[in-house]
Amino acid sequence: MAGHSKWSKIKRKKGATDAKRSKVWARITRDIMIAAREGGGNPNMNPRLALAIEKGKAENLPKDNIERAIKRGTGEIEGADYEENTYEGYGPGGVALFVETLTDNTNRTVADLRSIFTKAGGNLGNSGSVAFLFDQKGMFEIPAEGQDEDDLFLLVADAGAEDLRREDDVFVVETPVEAFGAVQAALAEAGIEPEEAGLQRLPTTTTTPDADTIPKVLRLLDTLDEHQDVQAVYSTLELDDETIAAIA
């Protein structure tokens, strides 16, 4: 779990300088479309859609783009038919990877991912080959400044959260998937705005490759994350603080 959290922080730092806004916007737009398709176009009744819209606003996605994505999702206007798929495999050093995708061409996506894994010295596995190594949870990261930990704990616990812990300058709230919407609503009602929020897959076990293998794993994670159809990448990679400091 700690390894995943640390890698997420590294990715955010790198993403601030490396990620192209157009790609970020495309990823969020697809997420809005799927959320609207699955749960309707009213964000007040659809927590996933509300979250996707908030992410769009945080990335300065234009309001018109958001509205068009919602209408495409609900079928009010025509758009590409996107499908959610997950893929599993192993990277160098036996690091397990779980990849979430959103694509309008499944054959293209699976061919691309298989090639990426193979070139990195890993292999794309069958469904279920690594899924058991991850638990899906709702996660919120809340700026610690100005927050009383006891009050915050009572608020999120009453809404169904499982855990609250401090990591550096944020409080991390962990929830069961089914309680994500309730915790999200409780935070909003209290006027608390998370820096990050969403469903994540947390590893139940971690893997620390040798020093020569770590760069290969990191390159694989980067390549997967940069693919146009990939929405999220989760791994069992565990890095020590010294390695993280050298990367970040």
E strand spans, the chain: 83-90, 96-103, 123-124, 134-143, 163-167, 170-175, 196-203, 230-235
pLDDT value of position 17: 45
Cα three-residue angle 123-129-133, rounded to 5 degrees: 110
pLDDT value of position 14: 47
Candidates 73, 80, 78, 77; CA nearest to 56 is: 73
pLDDT value of position 26: 86
pLDDT value of position 75: 87
The ranges of the chain with pLDDT < 70 are 1-20, 244-248
Domains, in order of start, for the chain: 1-15+82-248 (3.30.70.980), 16-74 (1.10.10.200)
3-state secondary structure of 123: strand
- Sign, CA dihedral 53-57-61-65, equals positive
pLDDT value of position 107: 96
* Helix or strand run (H / E) with residue 69: helix 63-74
pTM over 0.85: no
> For 88-131, what is each residue's pLDDT tens digit?
999 999 999 999 998 989 999 999 999 999 999 999 999 999 99
pLDDT value of position 248: 57
pLDDT value of position 70: 95
